[in-house]
Structure 1
Amino acid sequence: MKRICFPLIVLLATSCPGAEAVRAQDAPAAASEKGGGRERTNIDADWRFALGHAHDPARDFGYSTAPFFFAKAGYGDGPASPKFDDRAWRRVDVPHDWGVEVPFSSKAEANHGSRAIGPGFPENNIGWYRKTLTIPESDRGRRIAVEFDGIFRNGVIWFNGHYLGREHSGYSSSRFDLTDYINYDGPNTLVVRVDTSTFEGWFYEGAGIYRHVWLTKTDPLHIPQWGTYVTTTLQGADAEVTARATIRNEDVRARQFTVRQEVIGPDARSLATTQGAAQQLAPGASIDHSTVLPLKGAQLWSLDTPVMHQLVTTVLEGGAVRDRYVTPFGVRTIRWDPNTGFWLNGRHVKLKGTNNHQDHAGIGAALPDEMQVYRLERLKAMGSNAYRASHNPPTPELLDAADRLGMLVIDEHRMMGTAPELRDQLDRMVLRDRNHPSVILWSVGNEEWAIEGKEVGARLTKLMQARVRELDPTRPSTVATASNDTSGTATTTEIAGLNYIAQHNADAYHQARPDVPVVITEEGQTTTTRGIYFDDRDASHLAAYDRPPRPVESSSIEQAWRAIAQRPWMGGMFVWTGFDYRGETTPFGWPAISSQFGMLDTTGLFKDTAWYLKSQWTEAPMAHIVGHWNWPDRTGQPIPIWIYANADEAELLLNGRSRGRQKMPAYGHSEWQVPYAPGVLTARAYRSGKLVASDRVETTQAPQALKLSVERPGLPSAARDVAVVTVSAVDAKGRTVPVAADKVTFELKGAGRIMGVGNGDPSSHEPDQFLDKVAVDSVTGWEMADLDAGSAASGLPPLASLQWRDPFRWYPPGAGPATPQGFVLRARWEPSTETGATRRTLFLPRLSPGQRVFVGGVDVTAAMAPNGSGVAAALPTSTIQKSGTQDIVIVVPQGGEAALGALQDVGANGKNVAYIQSVSPAEPWSRSLFNGHAQVIVRFGSGSARPARLVATAPGLKPASVSLVPAR
């Protein structure tokens, strides 16, 4: 019988000073990793951001309208031009997801969370990001690149007005070399235009630069991005580490070098070292270097002991370090067996997995690194040991967290195909992630309905999996199929990934293809709402009792786990899903805005099905009552009560009187119908007749106070700067009220900021974030008229009597009008439709020391003040409150030639002269409790050591506060 054995794997390579852990965690702006000639700096902080427009260039800051745009090098226009004035734009740090900031709309795509984004919303689909970089003269001669972990979606990258390229996929990490366009010791402008007009998935995907950004500097002789690869084999208690590295010479001359490889243990001790012979590398050439290092008494990476090692690869030239590249990895073996499933380090492991998208309540897709850790910890608390990134490559930080915590991962490609763009995305996924010990399986596609049952599906599966084997022969690949088992993709895959056992004849497939291991890549798809025990379809709420989602071709979670557990040849199952997520509002449409498939809600609170899986997936005794006991309008009516327990028997008591003791069915639950009477329900779980666990729910009184619980405080690590806080309502006895729905207002005092709020309600339209709304109006359509000395000496000139012309019109040399000593500029401003704006600021260039400015006939010159590269003025209230078109006039009384030159320099095509920023102040942070709970996520700034205090208030309830201590 054929067995598929994949001996080891490793972890992602990153550069660092030496043998310490290397990933800069979550966006400290100054976070930097240096080693030899390599420097990798996080540049997440201090970007400028504004929304453009997908259809109207005038509202997209004039992008692509200037002469020679995309015709000649360096002619990037609009925000892509280094001359563009972005002072009116909002300051943001990335990762940033503007999708959670736009409102909900019944006209938006329900599958994408009904956010006003995507088709039909051109005003919200373009996001511009600009950042100024200073690169010192001392870096001349190095190779310098910007690396994006993820941009959603269709990012176009410009640098100093030069087009660098495009990243179409929102999930692929990308790299752009800046070296040839740098202004050393001067300002450098990095610009990203993001277009979310087209979706990739069928779920909420975010919008913007929603993953980290890095600036990497290397010697021309260096290891390229993802240029190392580590594998290991075990020989008894020892291991052999095969270390591979690609060395590239981007110099104009040949270079001689040697490569030193060193394995560093988890205690930072050197375990093995080797150094190769001297080699020479021609200009523009690359070479692969491979060596084997013995490892005595190797500590293995496992679920319970996720021990990490590091490979330090050093490139030396004449004794000088030219590059040092650190690759974290784990020593472990994996094996997929068609008869027994999955094996890790020679031990059988049933995969207890979940599928997950990448968004979280309050934050969207731009998760801080510690939220990746928090989410994995919540899944592990349920007993899960595996995670499928559905349906796209995850952020690198999620895999880092899986490595550290001991979580197995299916790493999934976005779309099937062998076209160059798709193959490049597949290659980048494998090269980036093949060193992670957590990754045990690649997936080249998911439910490709148009091809999965056809010959083309079989062909693409075979070709794509062969390509994966070229890059990583240590792991197999799968493709998840919807239903077809006898043709197409299921016939050529290395590992059969079956979505929903009720849609397949898995037994027949196993019999027909006994040499192919099988794993259930999706299962369940049950829909439940946390804390709801009777359907309320008007509110898009569904009872939490586990049941098949459809009459046919579906299973409850219990039915599914029973089927997998009873088949030893199945590798395991991945529940659809671990967390609820925005979009895919099955079985509802609007006004529902999130899915209900999760075992946990969008905030990470357990639903009752999570307790079922915990009863099946963990050993420590536990019992859980499905249901609360607050039913004042159902007195005497039967209430369904279930008990989940990993025990032989379960007993239910009401107010101390037993309602019966039942044998716990294998892979199931115990169930009672209990007429409601106020009091206490108690569950007792027994093993071999001995009480081992209990649970209770009781009737509570009305809410009296708020309570704050810090689920994830700041921890003693420079990276752990996120606090996750649960807010709940309690009665006079301090008991959580499970039906409370009070609206709670939050205030953070001291350091840090609130990132987002959520409550897990799948139909709540409350904001996730409360931020000032910033709108930017371009002031265009400029006209120019000459001024005589008399007109220039006083106030607003008589505009109606002036002769106007286009100040940006091009004339052949010598053919244009003479430049006047003074002139007046006029444009018309149509105020933004942004309602509630209380602050408007006009930003202008400085054309002349004596220039005067009028808005709507009001002289605002006295309010103008130096601001960055120009001047700015807060507009008076009378101007703010005016409606309709208003004139903006700039009077230049003297120095006309220089002033006109400055105007035409910054205002190419008339599109970059003036901007008005309108600000609508944010309302206080708030969220309604949903079935007694809500969540607040607090973020501390980089390096902050000051504590903060979160205060929660609600009408009629005693307020609560909690001290939050940032990481030190």
Structure 2
Amino acid sequence: MAAQREVVDWNSGWLFSIGAGADGNAPGAEADSWRAVVLPHDWSIENPVSKDAPSLGDGGFFQTGIGWYRRDFDAPASWRDRQVVIEFEGIYMNAGVWLNGASIAGRPYGYSSFFVDLTPHLRIGGKNTLLVRADNSAQPNCRWYSGSGIYRPVRLHVTAPVRVAPWGVFVATTRLDAESVSVRVETTVANGGKSAAGLSLETIITDPAGREVARVGAEGRAAPGADFTAAATATLANPQPWSPETPVLYRAVTRVRSGGSVVDEVVTPFGVRTVRVSAERGFELNGRPLKLAGGNVHHDHGPLGAAAFARAEERKVELLKAAGFNAARTSHNPPSPAFLDACDRLGLLVMDEAFDGWKSGKNPHDYGVWFDEWWRRDLDAMVLRDRNHPSVVLWSVGNEMFERGNADGLRIAHALTRRIRKIDTTRPVTAGVNGMGKGGEWSRLDPLFAAFDVAGYNYELGRHAADHERLPRRVIVAAESYLSETFANWAAAHNHAYVIGDFVWSAIDYLGEAGIGRVFPPGEPIVKHWEGGQWPWHGAACGDIDLTGLRKPGSHYRNIVWDRGEKLHVAVAAPAPGGEWGVSPWAPEPVQAHWTWSGHEGEPLAVEVYSRYDTVRLYLNGELLGEKPTTRAEEFKAVFSVPYAPGKLEAAGVRAGRETERFALVTASAPARLRLTPDRGRISADGQDLSFVVVEVLDANGVVVPSADHSVRYTLDGPAALAGIGSADLTDRDSYRANPRRVFQGRALVIVRAGDKAGTVKLTASAPGLPPAEFTLYMESSR
């Protein structure tokens, strides 16, 4: 029997060099000019920020340039007469690929996954050299931190010439009820051989327990160099629908037979679920209305930069779920496959977005330069790659496109939407659209919105009611909203079926778009982030969750308003020195969840209590200060003026006259020790797994000291490496690889990357004046 598909992770064995070589001639071909790297790799995050960096504030003042990757490998004799294809999940940006000196591929868009056929240029039985250039030198080219390099994983596929085409299986739910479900299985087979091939296709569907529940097949014939596509429908009894609460996954095992032998096999996870939108019932998942409690997320991981480790993507989804979100918008580009895999497993709905803008560029060197030539291939790549993910429930084709109000924009909108619907008709299509600017008539956008199934409104909360009156069939989603509009956006979605949800800007702080969400001291002019002058800020502070993964008070308030689990939280408005804080639309006045305000003794502080209880009572050092209602009429919030005195500030949630829950803040005393808290104490020794370690400065009673800014040094003993160190301070100029680094407000994050050997690793943290802290991390064999 002919050998079947081999899929090999190709993340190790790479060499890297910075330089500006041309074509396939990387600079410094001599061995000592290269250093070993393991993918995913982002070279920009390795360097400190610089005020003079050409990426400017949009790119977070990080260094970019041109980077080269090299991999020398043997092509064994077993590859003869086989198809050898390399899969790149993402290279930022303007990628070029050379094999043995021959230019074989290029891809400008840094967020597209793509495949490159190595077969024609392989030296079977000999040495081969693969070169990859990532050219991120033309700046600025992005409105947020992009990262630089092969920042997503790479795989090698070795198959027979007759094989399932890349992303060639599509499993779609066409009907769902309590007793059964119908799924349509479409398979495309590519014939890379020199002669026609008779084909027999078979797909076996297994349920979450691994039991076979259906089997379908088809026969056909593929001409040489051509594709063959067949579709069949299977019926599954007693379905287990996928939802955020029950993220159940089935598997489709597709086998291709040719010449009497199985020549290829692929496994496709999928979920049984349906999506429908209407103005009358809103967003329906599996026939039930559901509101999208969503947040916008960029693709970086703070101290890791853009490097798309599977564990980092999984952690991001865990953070979003823990904060009460049930949906995320991948602003403004296709995410990594690992992010969607995690959304599938953990249950997070996704608005999958293709582009930030279209042909009219927002930066001199952005995607607009290539839009006309590449949009079809890049849009196809997103939809074909992501269409089997049950978490993906909306396609978005753009964001705040400059052409939104003219004929060219209308033409592009229809072209993009038609292109998606040729591939997938099971999901609605949308785009995030803002107003027409000063003097622009909002209704001029009606034809553009008519091209989509859902109208994505960016910061246009006040238009919902009037637009529904004018166009009662329009379905609206707040694709972006301000942090300060939490209650108003919840109320709009809660009260009206035609408003299907809200995606706040943003769910998590991120690198780039420097200064958005910052708070200005009294007397200092408020400068919008796009107006420049934000240095030394290198990131965005507008998230519900900070760069280390800590939820800000606004996150707890959102969770309480949307009734997503929490019932009570307390925060204190930071006193402004000699005036009032200056805030932009993305930055409400600063509040912090602590009761340590040395120097403000006796000064009245505004204490905010967020609550889903009838009323709340506030105590200071056991003395009742008052009781206030926190119903919908009060927007689930009460504010108390409390003269500051050290001790214990405590809120009690009251229902039907009884105190049901308490939440306390306790004053911290002097720093006494460090605490290291890993998210996981055991990780796989596969060179890819991560442990995220929270670092805190505590007083003698175990209370975090919010004023602490110690410089902490970290050492590792064992088979692992420090992948990144950082805090929530987006003005810190040190590299995220620098060691030591300062904590911010008593907290930092250290990320440990596993090596490829099992064993134990000891992480030690030390800071002047404090005893060292340590913990042991266990690296377990991944074999």
**Superposed pair shares fold, TM > 0.5:** yes
Structure-1 separation of matches of 2:291 and 2:332: 22
Matches within 5 A, 1:292-691: 292-414=233-355, 415-416=357-358, 419-448=372-401, 450-484=402-436, 485-488=442-445, 489-502=448-461, 505-524=463-482, 526=483, 555-584=484-513, 585-586=515-516, 587=528, 589-627=534-572, 628-666=594-632, 667-691=635-659
Q: Any unmatched runs of 5+ in structure 1?
A: 1-33, 54-59, 65-75, 118-123, 527-554, 771-924
Aligned partners of 1:255 and 1:281 also within 8 Å: yes
1:126 and 2:66 correspond: yes
After superposition, the Cα gap between the structure-2 partners of 1:36 and 1:495, relative to the gap in structure 1 and judged at 3 Å, is farther
1:77 and 2:25 correspond: yes
Aligned partners of 1:147 and 1:216 also within 8 Å: yes
Deviations 1:93-148 (A, max 9, x none): 1110011122211223443344343xxxxxx5011111112110111101111111
Aligned partners of 1:621 and 1:693 also within 8 Å: no
Structure-1 separation of matches of 2:626 and 2:177: 56
Structure-1 separation of matches of 2:568 and 2:688: 32
Aligned residues: 720
Structure-2 separation of matches of 1:761 and 1:708: 19
Per the alignment, residue 764 of structure 2 pairs with: 951
Paired AA for residue 947 in structure 1: T
Aligned partners of 1:211 and 1:366 also within 8 Å: yes
Structure-1 separation of matches of 2:408 and 2:753: 48
State the shift of 1:741 in Å.
1.1
Paired AA for residue 31 in structure 2: D
1:141 and 2:87 correspond: no
1:712 and 2:680 correspond: yes
Deviations 1:516-564 (A, max 9, x none): 211110011x4xxxxxxxxxxxxxxxxxxxxxxxxxxxx4333333333
Counterpart of 1:276 in 2: which secondary structure? strand
Structure-1 separation of matches of 2:685 and 2:251: 20
Deviations 1:490-524 (A, max 9, x none): 2432210000134x512122222222211110011
Structure-2 separation of matches of 1:761 and 1:559: 30
Structure-2 separation of matches of 1:718 and 1:400: 19
Paired AA for residue 497 in structure 1: G
Structure-2 separation of matches of 1:937 and 1:512: 52
State the shift of 1:257 in Å.
2.2
Structure-2 separation of matches of 1:214 and 1:313: 20
Counterpart of 2:443 in 1: which secondary structure? coil
Matches within 5 A, 1:105-184: 105-108=50-53, 109-117=55-63, 124-184=64-124
Per the alignment, residue 935 of structure 1 pairs with: 749
State the shift of 1:566 in Å.
3.2
After superposition, the Cα gap between the structure-2 partners of 1:568 and 1:274, relative to the gap in structure 1 and judged at 3 Å, is closer
Counterpart of 2:491 in 1: which secondary structure? helix
State the shift of 1:592 in Å.
1.2
Counterpart of 2:244 in 1: which secondary structure? coil
Across the aligned residues of Structure 1 and Structure 2, the Cα RMSD in angstroms comes to 2.0
Counterpart of 2:50 in 1: which secondary structure? coil
Counterpart of 2:303 in 1: which secondary structure? coil
Per the alignment, residue 281 of structure 1 pairs with: 222
Per the alignment, residue 45 of structure 1 pairs with: 12
Paired AA for residue 428 in structure 2: P
Structure-1 separation of matches of 2:475 and 2:236: 31
State the shift of 1:719 in Å.
9.3
Deviations 1:139-170 (A, max 9, x none): 11011111110000111111100001211011
Q: 2:740 aligns with which of 905, 908, 926?
A: 926
After superposition, the Cα gap between the structure-2 partners of 1:719 and 1:294, relative to the gap in structure 1 and judged at 3 Å, is farther
Structure-2 separation of matches of 1:718 and 1:48: 19
After superposition, the Cα gap between the structure-2 partners of 1:720 and 1:141, relative to the gap in structure 1 and judged at 3 Å, is closer
Counterpart of 2:702 in 1: which secondary structure? coil
After superposition, the Cα gap between the structure-2 partners of 1:739 and 1:343, relative to the gap in structure 1 and judged at 3 Å, is same
State the shift of 1:346 in Å.
1.6
Structure-2 separation of matches of 1:168 and 1:250: 26
Paired AA for residue 240 in structure 1: S
Counterpart of 2:759 in 1: which secondary structure? coil
Counterpart of 1:432 in 2: which secondary structure? helix
After superposition, the Cα gap between the structure-2 partners of 1:79 and 1:187, relative to the gap in structure 1 and judged at 3 Å, is farther
Structure-1 separation of matches of 2:648 and 2:82: 71
Aligned partners of 2:560 and 2:612 also within 8 Å: yes
Greater relative contact order structure (CA < 8 Å, 6+ sep)? 1
Per the alignment, residue 877 of structure 1 pairs with: none
1:94 and 2:42 correspond: no
Aligned partners of 1:254 and 1:282 also within 8 Å: yes
Per the alignment, residue 786 of structure 1 pairs with: none
State the shift of 1:196 in Å.
0.8
1:195 and 2:141 correspond: no
Structure-2 separation of matches of 1:116 and 1:719: 26
Structure-2 separation of matches of 1:334 and 1:755: 39
After superposition, the Cα gap between the structure-2 partners of 1:712 and 1:646, relative to the gap in structure 1 and judged at 3 Å, is farther
Percent of residue pairs bearing the same amino acid type: 37
Q: Any unmatched runs of 5+ in structure 2?
A: 360-370, 437-441, 517-527, 573-593
Deviations 1:591-631 (A, max 9, x none): 11111110001111111111111212345453211132212
Q: Which moved more, 1:686-695 or 1:317-326?
A: 686-695
Counterpart of 2:195 in 1: which secondary structure? coil
Structure-1 separation of matches of 2:687 and 2:569: 35
Per the alignment, residue 900 of structure 1 pairs with: none
Aligned partners of 2:308 and 2:336 also within 8 Å: no
Counterpart of 2:165 in 1: which secondary structure? coil
Paired AA for residue 223 in structure 1: V
Counterpart of 1:571 in 2: which secondary structure? strand
Counterpart of 2:467 in 1: which secondary structure? helix
After superposition, the Cα gap between the structure-2 partners of 1:696 and 1:52, relative to the gap in structure 1 and judged at 3 Å, is same
State the shift of 1:344 in Å.
0.8
Aligned partners of 2:249 and 2:345 also within 8 Å: yes
Aligned partners of 1:458 and 1:490 also within 8 Å: no
After superposition, the Cα gap between the structure-2 partners of 1:929 and 1:78, relative to the gap in structure 1 and judged at 3 Å, is closer
State the shift of 1:716 in Å.
7.5
Structure-1 separation of matches of 2:450 and 2:391: 27
Matches within 5 A, 1:640-789: 640-666=606-632, 667-714=635-682, 721-770=689-738
Per the alignment, residue 165 of structure 2 pairs with: 224
Aligned partners of 1:143 and 1:220 also within 8 Å: yes
Aligned partners of 2:687 and 2:753 also within 8 Å: no
Paired AA for residue 459 in structure 2: Y
State the shift of 1:276 in Å.
2.8
Q: TM-score, normalised by structure 2?
A: 0.89
Aligned partners of 2:19 and 2:27 also within 8 Å: no
Paired AA for residue 712 in structure 1: R
Structure-2 separation of matches of 1:48 and 1:716: 24
Counterpart of 1:223 in 2: which secondary structure? strand
Aligned partners of 1:721 and 1:967 also within 8 Å: no
